[in-house]
Structure 1
Amino acid sequence: MSAAAEDARIVPVVIVVPPRVLLLDIAGPIEVLRKANLEQAAVRFTVAYVGPSPTAHSSIGLGLSGIAPLPEALPADALVLVPGMADVPIDGIGADGEDYAAAEVAIVQWLTKTIRPGMRLASICSGALLAGRAGLLDGQECTTHHGTVAELIRAAPLARVVENRIFVDSGERLTSAGITAGVDLMLHIVARETSHATALAVARHLVVYLRRGGSDPQLSPWLEGRNHIHPAIHRAQDAIVADPAHHWSVAALAAVAAASPRNLSRLFNDQTGMSVTHYVNQIRIALAHELVTASRLDMERVAEQAGFASARQFRRAWNRVHATAPSRLRREQTPR
């Protein structure tokens, strides 16, 4: 192991494997973590698989083995991931529910006993039902697959269940909709634990560029314009995302992309549907939004760190995107 890897901050991820587990609920999000470990050295995600049984039958008929017992305790900084379950696996095994109800009860009891305040729990698809039955979503906004929303409302009557969301981040509780939304949720977690640049690199590797944020009805600015596979444009976009405050002229980005300025402008419009300048401003506003809502910096410092020449220029660009002024948005999102 390299010295950099030894110095990395460790994020322990514990996957609870239920019976009839939806295999994509595990494979997709954990592939995000595997790639994130390769993209940067500052944070390392470790993965452990636990469950009520050392083996599990998956939704696609593939058997899983080597599953560790449900532990007595977890690290305080652990991220616990609960994937969903199939009603009927592809081969029909377990469709009658034999022994599976008892395994689900064991998971719910373990979650109730083990997950303490301060610990993060993420669910994918119908995994929210187990978290809900354990009382871990009480008082929280949450979501699940559209086909199990009604069931979650019954299982967790004290939760605020919302529909039509890809994922919901309520701080210690993160829930996502059906199956591939688990990839979106894990990209969100990677961005928060590492950087947007790392999450974008992983999304690019997995070819899942066109994604929405958890509660934003619009496309996330960090991922909008990424639903293409043109390497020169991705190089330019990667450079912008890595340092939004840099003075990114078309000529400077053309050098990064190994294209002429004229060709870069044409390709950028063709591949992203927007101009280079529009994309740069979009990323700067996305960064500014994070600084406004997650810091106490004054608006002049927000403008400077986001790459705007002045607070006035920042506010002008902000008002083209947001209906609420940045100072008012900060007041509205500050707990009373």
Structure 2
Amino acid sequence: MTLVSFLLVSGVHLLDLAGPAQVFSTAADLGLGYEVRYSAAHEEVATAQGPALRVGTDVPPPSPDGLVVVPGWRAGGRVPHRVLTDGQAGALSAHRAAGGTVASVCSGAFALGEAGLLDGRRCTTHHGLQDLLARRFPRARVVPDVLYVPDGGVLTSAGIASGIDLALHLVTVRHGPSAAAAIAREMVVYARRNGDEPQAGVMLRHRGHLVDAVHRVQDVIDARFREPLPLAELAATARVSERTLTRLFTATTGLTPLRYQQGLRLEHAEHLIGAGETVEAAARAVGFGDARMLRRLRSRPS
């Protein structure tokens, strides 16, 4: 039986906690041998989303087989220099010294740094907190814009939903990819993402604008990125001329419609290749006629 202990800080984000907790409780339901516990400095813990949680106050016991996870909390770009009690910081250090695994989600990385667990290690956090983490813990090696970073027995992940990816990664390491895939299916989440994927995919990176016509075209491309999509058809969707669409799309996203579609195809192909598909099979699955274009896009500098 593997004990997974969640160490909660006041203002905890519910999804930072619930995402990985659901992974391990689902793993337990599937017979993989997990027990999930929760603790905090006080029995009642305020959450960023409103509802208070009632948990135990016992610190996680050190164990070479156990896992301690520190979910993130509402930071707003400002993180206190001390978020843990002396007992909690000592428990994290003792757990790692005993050979146990320690992980964080989002701003939880600051708690790991406070316990001295980031010194000399690669780590990450939410993209809005990466610079602050690097300044606060100069001996840490902060990796920007990735989903999660494993470094020995210390793992850190980006914001919010990336905690699910981190937890699925830990299940994969312990039980293999088929177990993680079974949990992902049970949770109805997207297939496990690799840690070095960017925190914002193609769709998120290019949606921060206010041009309705371009959003309508992006909706079509997002839903049908595997298909040939003539510019004339996309322009008709936006109710503008082809020339105007190209100008608007490039001005708002930095890409032509074709480059945007290629980016989506490449992103989905990388998921498939990471799951074991050949380049040729991945190319066909995402709509490329053959693998030559996919290889060309994969070799292009980011």
TM-score bracket, normalised by the shorter chain, equals 0.5 to 0.7
Pick from 61, 72, 81: which aligns with 2:69? Answer: 81
Pick from 53, 67, 83: which aligns with 2:56? Answer: 67
Which residue number in structure 1 is paired with residue 153 of structure 2? Answer: 172
C-alpha displacement at 1:196, in angstroms? 1.1
C-alpha displacement at 1:46, in angstroms? 0.8
Which residue number in structure 1 is paired with residue 105 of structure 2? Answer: 124
**Structure 1 residues without counterparts, runs of 5 or longer:** 1-9, 89-94, 218-227, 229-272, 287-319, 324-336
Which residue number in structure 1 is paired with residue 6 of structure 2? Answer: 15
For residue 97 of structure 2, what is the amino acid of its counterpart? R
Q: Secondary structure at the match of 1:69?
A: coil
Q: Secondary structure at the match of 1:14?
A: strand
Among all aligned residue pairs of Structure 1 and Structure 2, give the percentage whose two residues are the same amino acid.
Answer: 36
For residue 50 of structure 1, what is the amino acid of its counterpart? S
Which residue number in structure 2 is paired with residue 224 of structure 1? Answer: none
In structure 2, C-alpha distance between the alignment counterparts of 1:285 and 1:101, rounded to whole Å? 47
Pick from 272, 276, 279: which aligns with 1:283? Answer: 276
Which residue number in structure 2 is paired with residue 143 of structure 1? Answer: 124
Structure 1 segments, 4+ long, off by >6 Å, are 279-282
C-alpha displacement at 1:54, in angstroms? 1.6
In structure 2, C-alpha distance between the alignment counterparts of 1:86 and 1:280, rounded to whole Å? 35
Aligned length: 217
Indicate whether 1:207 and 2:188 are aligned: yes
C-alpha displacement at 1:11, in angstroms? 1.3
In structure 2, C-alpha distance between the alignment counterparts of 1:206 and 1:171, rounded to whole Å? 28
In structure 1, C-alpha distance between the alignment counterparts of 2:181 and 2:112, rounded to whole Å? 29
Q: How does 1:211-226 map to 2 (within 5 A)?
A: 211-215=192-196
Which residue number in structure 2 is paired with residue 316 of structure 1? Answer: none
Q: Does the 8 A contact of 2:184 with 2:192 survive in 1?
A: no
In structure 2, C-alpha distance between the alignment counterparts of 1:171 and 1:135, rounded to whole Å? 14
Pick from 58, 83, 104: which aligns with 2:84? Answer: 104
C-alpha displacement at 1:211, in angstroms? 4.5
Which residue number in structure 2 is paired with residue 152 of structure 1? Answer: 133
Q: Superposition RMSD on alpha carbons, in Å?
A: 3.7
Pick from 168, 184, 190: which aligns with 2:165? Answer: 184
Q: Does the 8 A contact of 1:133 with 1:155 survive in 2?
A: no
Give CA-to-partner distance per residue, 1:142-162, whole Å, 9 cap, x none.
Answer: 100011111211222111101
In structure 1, C-alpha distance between the alignment counterparts of 2:161 and 2:274, rounded to whole Å? 30
Q: Secondary structure at the match of 1:168?
A: strand
Alignment TM-score, normalising by the size of structure 2: 0.62
